[in-house]
Amino acid sequence: MLNAFKANASKEVKVKRRNVIKEVTLLCEEQTNLIDKQQFEADKKKTEVKARVMSVRPRDKRVGLHKSEISKFEIAEDKMMKINEMIVGRSTNKMCVSKKRSVFFEWRNAILQQRGFMYSIKNYIEKGLFHKGFMEIKEQSLVNRKERVI
């Protein structure tokens, strides 16, 4: 009976874990697809801007405008990249975060702590109940053995 209980419990745990793994992999795939799509759109926009700059600028090598236009484009692109890195860095380092966002960060951390606490209590109680149940089964089997002997 104990082996049947263990087998059934382990099957349920395996099914739950597989479902969780499937959900996580689907979320990861969605995020990577979204990132790839955004990167593709950014590359497409970059090539469009470069093509527009190439079509607008004069191609006279004597005047030297050809070189200056490319450098202006590269300078503007570098500035945009630095600004994006700065904004993302502030957000990830929580350096300059709005009040609303900081409230949500702290709320999320509190919920994660509460959930971890509840899971630890659940595991402790579950382990105690399993131990108690197994001890009762053991005692009952000892009683049954004594009755058989008598």
57-69 pLDDT, tens digit per residue, is 554 444 444 555 5
Give the mean pLDDT of the chain.
79
Predicted confidence at residue 120, as pLDDT, reads 94
pLDDT for residue 8 = 65
Strand, coil or helix: 35: helix
Where does residue 70 rank: exposed (0-12), middle (13-18), buried (19+ CB within 10 A)?
middle
pLDDT recorded at residue 61: 46
Taking a C-beta distance cutoff of 8 angstroms, is the pair 104, 110 a contact?
A: no
| Domain residue extents for the chain | 98-150
pLDDT digits (tens, 9 = 90+) for 73-108: 788 888 888 888 887 777 676 666 778 888 888 899
Give CA separation, 25 vs 17, 32, 35, 36, 39, in Å.
12, 10, 15, 16, 21
User: What is the predicted pLDDT for the residue at 101?
Assistant: 80
Q: Is the pLDDT of residue 115 over 90?
A: yes
